[in-house]
Structure 1
Amino acid sequence: MNKKYFLFLFLLGAFTFSTAQKKKITLEEIWGGEFRTEYMDVLRSMNNGTQYTILNTTRSPLASSLDKYDYKTLEKVETIVASSDAVPYFSSYSFSDDESQVLLATEVEPIFRRSRLGIYYVYDIATKNLVKISETKIQEPTLSPDGSKVAYVLDNNLYVMDLADRTTKQVTSDGSKGTIINGVTDWVYEEEFAFVRAFEWNSNGTKIAFLRFDETEVPHFSMDVYGKDLYPYQHEFKYPKAGEKNSIVSLHMYDVVSGKISNVNLNDPYYIPRIKWMNHPDHLSVQTLNRHQNDLKMYAVNAKDNSFSVLLEETDAAYVDIDDDLTFLDDDSFIWTSETDGYNHLYLYGRNGKLKNQITQGPWEVTRYYGYDEDNDRIFYQSVENGSINRGVYSISTNGKRKKELSVEEGTNSAAFSSDYTYYINTYSSATTPYRFTLHNASNGKLVKAIKDNSALQNKLEGYEISPKEFSTININGNDLNMYMIKPADFDPNKKYPLFMFQYSGPGSQQVANQWMGSNDYWHQHLASLGYIVACVDGRGTGLKGRDFKKVTQKELGKFEVEDQIAAAQKLSERSYIDADRTGIWGWSYGGFMSTNALLKGNDTFEMAIAVAPVTSWRFYDTIYTERYMQTPQENPTGYDDNSPFNYPELLKGKYLLVHGSGDDNVHVQNTMRMIEALVQANKQFDWAIYPDKNHGIYGGYTRLHLYTKMTNFVKENL
């Protein structure tokens, strides 16, 4: 026998034996937590910059402790407070600015995505005294800068407690469910502007600025909750759908000493998405938006007399994003992020609002702003300078010079800095490396010490059949779109495989990223082990490739994004190893809207689709999100209806699975019910599942395992 041929057979046999010994990932393992990653506990830097705190908990026995550690050694220095007979188990904490008091959260229960109710205590570190703030569950308690008082919201009213004499003063009295909210946001602000606490202490604790929401005219929404009792009941809240009335929001100032409330007249702004005190205790910054969200004004308010002036104004033909990057320096000059030059970058403004200079620039985006080291004139940020699917950590001076690469290993790097910017803890992962945590010097990025990694998980996965993500770009409709592909481990280019596409596609989003696997990635690995090729393409409208690429979908959500997915599927099907007659697509939420449209409008391209919790008409979704991209239905009716899938159910040819949770307060099950009715009246057969009382995440108990088993079976039967 030819020696080379013998060697080939030997190697082929060895490979076959090797892959045969590998285990296939199972759904039970994915949803049973078998591949759970180890994370760093959330740490908070102490004011001294050399130490940090971590909340440590145990389940059996149930206990919690707030512990202090040293950055340089990573060793525990002391326990600040621990649960005991005198101190209840606490699940989160926060310090006063001077770190004299600690706020401890107990018995916490969720309201919506970000809002919580709980019983809270204040622990005095010096005296070790523990004060219970209220016998009733409250929202958003926040200590004054000196730790002498705590402000909070109860039943839509703002309160302030004096910790020395333990007296409580009710600041507002007009709050009531469904009408007036003081100090916390309404549903749509919480969901779309991403904050709940709508009050702020000034720097010396003499004033509190707060927002008031009048949601009286906001349309009422209700959902049936089936529960386990004899009769269901209705969960009711105010939800403004596109084109409907929003809360009337107003800004107010509370003087802590006099107890007086004054109104700040800002010319009746439509939205107030951010308030932030400057370093000067009498100066407040307030960001406002018009209804179209394409004209942002930042006002400087003088709290002495409530006079105001425009500090900055930014407009855009589409919309202006809201974020938390605004930072006031010691003299109240400020750092700001903007897409003004076509990419998201950092800018420096004087305290009078005049632009000093653009700090970062280039055909790439700043993705996170970490902070400013004023002593050394260094700004720390994260960006995609190393490619739009990667993230690196950098520093730069305010004049745009002395840029340094700190953590730029190919993959995803993110940083948590000490308060004096001496150290940072870098979190790194890639598509092939699970999360790794390391301590670095902030001045030069030099590694100080390895902290934690997921080598145990990586070693475990050596025993499983894992196929690599192959990153590339694909030219679709004149754009080089980011893409990844997962092939079966025993891929044979001479065979033909079914193609199953995954996407989300929402404005500014990204799914093709060089980072460690999430649960959907493990599911895709499971499908690859069954002989499917899984691909993901980030089309037009997604993020991190500049303003124009992201905002091209303005007023036409679901048009260009769907065109790109159909064209990508067609182009991939030209490859010799893709079976063009077996192409599927799936997605969740916006991705479900997309997969439904792709199956209908691309009915000669896709043979099947799965849509989980999809929007089926933007007329049903909330004002802030929808109108940011679509304006109102009254202004843009064709933009809403031309891409609403229940308006053309007759186009359905392929196999379709539609899934929703009946308790979804975000994308209401109404979307799926209208889609079902349209398909029924078009006499189209399809599959569907409703998960009782489950919200937008559709989880709890065995729910996720059940859902993904259903989806897996649907793929196996129809693709």
Structure 2
Amino acid sequence: MTSTQPLSFPRQSARTQRFTLGAPRAFTVSPDGSRVVFLRSSSGTDRSGLLWVLDLEGHGPPQERPAADPRELLGGIAEELSAEERARRERSREGSAGIVAYAVDRAVELAAFTLSGRLFTAELRAGTARELPTPGPVLDPRPSPDGRLVAYVAGGALRVTGAEGEEDRALAEPEDEHTTYGLAEFIAAEEMGRSRGFWWSPDSDRLLVARADERDVRRWWIPDPAQPDQEPSKVAYPAAGTPNATVRLFFVALDGNRTEVTWDRERYPYLARVHWSAAGPPLLLVQSRDQRTQLYLAVDPESGSTRTVHVDEDEAWLELFSGVPAWAPESSYEQGFGGGRLVRIADEGGARVLAVGDRVLTGAQLQLRAVLDIGESDVLVSAAAGADSAEPETGEIHVYRVNELGVERVSDGPGVHAAVRGGGVTVLASSRTDVSGALVQVLRDGKQVAVVASHAEEPVLRARPTLTEAGARRIPCAVLLPSGHRDADGPLPVLMDPYGGPHGQRVLAAHNPYLTSQWFADQGFAVVVADGRGTPGRSPGWEKAVVGDFTPTLDDQIEALQSLAGSFPLDLDRVAIRGWSYGGYLAAMAVLRRPDVFHAAVAGAPVTDWRLYDTHYTERYLGDPAAQSAAYAANSLVTDAGLTSAEGPARPLMIVHGLADDNVVMAHTLRLSSALLAAGRAHEVLPLTGVTHMTPQEQIAENLLLLQVDFLKRSLGRA
């Protein structure tokens, strides 16, 4: 008997992985502009990604065709992931299945990918795919630029095989159990945005290969208490103030001969970026451990020696960006870039700017976010309006063309836009607040030639965010009220729903980011999402206001709340807050330190003791714990004086944490719970068995929303 009961939003959101399944993503455009390659599952509830090709040339309109289908390639057998592949997906927050990533050759004719740890390639013109025999499990396969070879990692060794599966061999093998070749170490993948550990030369005759040695990294044990017969997982976790993995870099020829790249690794231990293209010699970005100094290094492929091309310094820290550093093409000299071809994003004069050579091409009107493509005569970038913009655009992100003549916006209309470009073709993905999902247009010379269909499900509810700014600091905010709410209904209990910390912009001019917030609003709350100091998108100074002290992130939530109360029906006597990860830390801090403002909190996977979090993230903001012990104590929830103070009421607090979390480990919640218990403060702890920092499991994701709203209603009823 089929149920006629409509699907609830919590169930639909969980089933669709927050409406991401079925949406096209990971676009690549061939250099001749004839093909667009992308990933997409078959429906809004299908987790298995297929590799697709959109043919733009030929008779008739552009046509989509599958280039690789996991079900056919695996013969219907369920996927089995190695521990290394699960870790890679956790670092990239990838919860899908099937083909979740791919790499292509220079002509975008050959793609390589893995399924169940096995290596597959797809001929993108012919639309055929096949498996190559390899010792497995395989990680991160990448074709050579000429398409003749495929390099990959297996068992910690960098290997290479012919594109037809011939002459598979190891080029660099680990010396011991602590060493890997060709993989990004934990810190690079989790915090630096570098997921790779090897790079092909433009001539396909050698590779740059990272060697990571984790012997000095502290080992942590993550058990599953629900499975006492199983051994705990051993994780090399570099907590703040403890040793990182030692990373070296080698040129490795196809015969296995190697040459080490030399730089001052003692002063600059972080290998943050590697760029190798036909536009110039290999280019490295290396950082000091305190992240206040970084070098741009050009590398001699024959000797491995390096020369400094540029140096950046900052009193707070230096941010890392996607797409840079890189070289502009030689012909860019003729286009007026001049003075050198290094492309970088820098914080200068209170703005985040694009620099090419010795010229700064943008100013305070834009806040640069990433370089998307470097052409012969322009650079394609992603940016938001700067703090000094005459027309601030709350939550909007646009795509711009930048050259010596100025700045031209490519994206049209309010929203959040992203792009990929190649061969005169631009794939532009645009999200708006009034439409779910994203519209993906394929443009040639600025004119639409195709639309890439999305199979994502339509949500059962419609988000209705009001984007605004609050307080003297003009804090970007989104306010969501219950559907059908009328002014006569009176003030509503408030739910603050932030992330609120570094690298976590939540106020976006798009629809789907607010779906869960709207669902909470429809349960009878006025929901406020506020991006205070520390969050990206406003200015370098806005982000760096939290150096040494995370308190401003809480102060700005309070300022936004109190300011918005003058314009929206907010009941300030019933205020709750919820969040995950940094948002969980912020939520717990809110009820512990400001119980006069906040009356209940749900803290998901909260960082409670910053000495337990990783080096690159934590030391960027709080410094070395040995030298800055006071900062660590002041920003910790475990040592918070409010736990033992009799001042202020103890507010209801639910702490939620996945037992298998290897990013914010369960020890954070256990230490906070112990401190609360010792202080005689009642609280609830909800442990999630087998759950990591993500919550992709359908039943868990659904019930977690339902349990939160029940807790908040009970708690605010007592406020």
Scaled by the length of structure 1, the TM-score of the pair is 0.85
Superposed, which structure 2 residues align to 1:295-334 within 5 Å?
Answer: 295-326=293-324, 327-331=326-330, 333-334=341-342
SS for the counterpart of 2:349 is coil
Say if 2:134 and 2:168, in contact at 8 Å, map to a contact too.
no
Matching residue of 2:476:
482
Matching residue of 1:664:
661
Q: Tell me the CA shift for residue 446 of structure 1.
A: 4.3
The higher-RCO structure (CA 8 Å, 6+ apart) is 2
Q: Which residue, out of 665, 672, 677, partners 1:675?
A: 672
Q: Distance in 1 between matches of 2:315 and 2:18?
A: 45
Q: Tell me the CA shift for residue 402 of structure 1.
A: 4.8
SS for the counterpart of 2:676 is helix
Say if 2:149 and 2:163, in contact at 8 Å, map to a contact too.
yes
Say if 1:325 and 1:337, in contact at 8 Å, map to a contact too.
no
Q: 1:45 to 1:34 in 2, by over 3 A?
A: closer
Q: Distance in 1 between matches of 2:273 and 2:361?
A: 23
1:344 pairs with 2:352: yes
Say if 2:495 and 2:527, in contact at 8 Å, map to a contact too.
yes
Q: For residues 275-305 of structure 1, what are the alpha-carbon distances to aligned partners after superposition, in whole Å with 9 as ceiling and x for unaligned? A: 2224268x22111111001101011111112
Greater shift, 43-52 or 160-169, is seen at 160-169
Q: Which residue, out of 416, 423, 426, partners 1:424?
A: 426
Q: Tell me the CA shift for residue 237 of structure 1.
A: 1.5
Q: Distance in 2 between matches of 1:580 and 1:85?
A: 57
Q: Tell me the CA shift for residue 271 of structure 1.
A: 1.0
Q: 1:278 to 1:455 in 2, by over 3 A?
A: closer
Matching residue of 1:110:
none
Q: What is the root-mean-square deviation of aligned Cα atoms in Å?
A: 3.1
Q: Which residue, out of 413, 416, 437, partners 2:417?
A: 413
Q: Which residue, out of 590, 601, 605, partners 1:598?
A: 590
Q: Distance in 1 between matches of 2:64 and 2:416?
A: 31
Provide the identity percentage: 20
Matching residue of 2:217:
218
Q: Distance in 2 between matches of 1:225 and 1:77?
A: 44
Q: Distance in 2 between matches of 1:265 and 1:548?
A: 34
Q: 1:42 to 1:86 in 2, by over 3 A?
A: closer
Matching residue of 2:14:
31
Matching residue of 2:343:
335
1:106 pairs with 2:124: no
SS for the counterpart of 2:607 is coil
1:289 pairs with 2:287: yes
Q: Which residue, out of 585, 604, 609, partners 1:612?
A: 604
Superposed, which structure 2 residues align to 1:698-709 within 5 Å?
Answer: 698-709=695-706
Q: 1:31 to 1:595 in 2, by over 3 A?
A: same
Greater shift, 636-645 or 238-247, is seen at 636-645
One-letter code of the match for 1:536? V
Matching residue of 2:534:
541
One-letter code of the match for 2:669? T
Say if 2:14 and 2:698, in contact at 8 Å, map to a contact too.
no
Q: 1:639 to 1:684 in 2, by over 3 A?
A: same
Q: Tell me the CA shift for residue 491 of structure 1.
A: 2.8
Q: Distance in 2 between matches of 1:491 and 1:48?
A: 55
SS for the counterpart of 2:142 is strand
1:69 pairs with 2:73: no
Matching residue of 2:250:
252
Matching residue of 1:111:
none
1:97 pairs with 2:106: yes
1:264 pairs with 2:261: yes
Q: Tell me the CA shift for residue 380 of structure 1.
A: 1.9
SS for the counterpart of 1:705 is helix
SS for the counterpart of 1:204 is coil
Which structure 1 segments of 5+ residues have no match?
A: 1-22, 108-117, 350-354
Superposed, which structure 2 residues align to 1:151-550 within 5 Å?
Answer: 151-163=151-163, 166-177=166-177, 179-226=178-225, 231-257=229-255, 259-268=256-265, 269-279=268-278, 283-326=281-324, 327-331=326-330, 333-349=341-357, 355=358, 357-374=359-376, 377-385=377-385, 387-397=393-403, 399=404, 401-417=405-421, 419-421=422-424, 423-439=425-441, 441=443, 443=445, 445-448=446-449, 452=453, 457=458, 466=462, 468-475=464-471, 478-488=472-482, 489-493=484-488, 495-518=490-513, 521-550=514-543
Q: 1:125 to 1:49 in 2, by over 3 A?
A: closer
Greater shift, 128-137 or 490-499, is seen at 128-137
Q: 1:192 to 1:64 in 2, by over 3 A?
A: closer
Q: Distance in 1 between matches of 2:73 and 2:519?
A: 49
Q: Distance in 2 between matches of 1:54 and 1:591?
A: 32
Q: 1:263 to 1:455 in 2, by over 3 A?
A: closer
Say if 1:53 and 1:67, in contact at 8 Å, map to a contact too.
yes
Q: 1:155 to 1:681 in 2, by over 3 A?
A: same
Q: 1:46 to 1:687 in 2, by over 3 A?
A: same
SS for the counterpart of 1:706 is helix
Q: 1:523 to 1:495 in 2, by over 3 A?
A: same
One-letter code of the match for 1:28? R
Q: Tell me the CA shift for residue 470 of structure 1.
A: 1.5
One-letter code of the match for 1:608? A
Q: Tell me the CA shift for residue 662 of structure 1.
A: 0.6
Superposed, which structure 2 residues align to 1:8-87 within 5 Å?
Answer: 26-33=9-16, 36=19, 39-40=23-24, 42-54=26-38, 66-70=52-56, 74-76=61-63
Q: Tell me the CA shift for residue 25 of structure 1.
A: 6.2
Say if 1:508 and 1:550, in contact at 8 Å, map to a contact too.
no
Which structure 2 segments of 5+ residues have no match?
A: 1-5, 77-97, 331-339, 386-391
Q: Distance in 1 between matches of 2:189 and 2:47?
A: 35
One-letter code of the match for 1:691? L
Q: 1:523 to 1:80 in 2, by over 3 A?
A: closer
Q: For residues 420-456 of structure 1, what are the alpha-carbon distances to aligned partners after superposition, in whole Å with 9 as ceiling and x for unaligned? A: 12x323222222222342536454x444555547998
- Number of equivalences: 660
Larger of the two Rg values belongs to structure: 1
Q: 1:273 to 1:715 in 2, by over 3 A?
A: same
Q: 1:274 to 1:404 in 2, by over 3 A?
A: closer
One-letter code of the match for 1:243? G
Superposed, which structure 2 residues align to 1:634-653 within 5 Å?
Answer: 634-648=626-640, 649-650=643-644, 653=650
Q: Distance in 1 between matches of 2:123 and 2:17?
A: 41
Q: Distance in 2 between matches of 1:453 and 1:433?
A: 13
One-letter code of the match for 1:191? E
Q: For residues 34-62 of structure 1, what are the alpha-carbon distances to aligned partners after superposition, in whole Å with 9 as ceiling and x for unaligned? A: 98465235442223113223456659999
Q: Distance in 1 between matches of 2:153 and 2:671?
A: 38
Q: Distance in 1 between matches of 2:71 and 2:565?
A: 63
Q: Which residue, out of 677, 686, 695, partners 1:689?
A: 686
Q: Distance in 2 between matches of 1:119 and 1:164?
A: 15
Q: 1:493 to 1:618 in 2, by over 3 A?
A: farther
Greater shift, 68-77 or 700-709, is seen at 68-77
Q: Distance in 2 between matches of 1:688 and 1:87?
A: 41
One-letter code of the match for 2:200? W
Q: Tell me the CA shift for residue 564 of structure 1.
A: 1.8
Q: Tell me the CA shift for residue 342 of structure 1.
A: 2.2
Q: Distance in 2 between matches of 1:263 and 1:679?
A: 52
Q: Distance in 2 between matches of 1:62 and 1:345?
A: 39
Q: Distance in 2 between matches of 1:136 and 1:441?
A: 40
One-letter code of the match for 1:250? R
Say if 1:505 and 1:594, in contact at 8 Å, map to a contact too.
yes
One-letter code of the match for 2:653? Y
Q: 1:492 to 1:679 in 2, by over 3 A?
A: same
SS for the counterpart of 1:542 is coil
Q: For residues 373-392 of structure 1, what are the alpha-carbon distances to aligned partners after superposition, in whole Å with 9 as ceiling and x for unaligned? A: 31xx1322222236241122
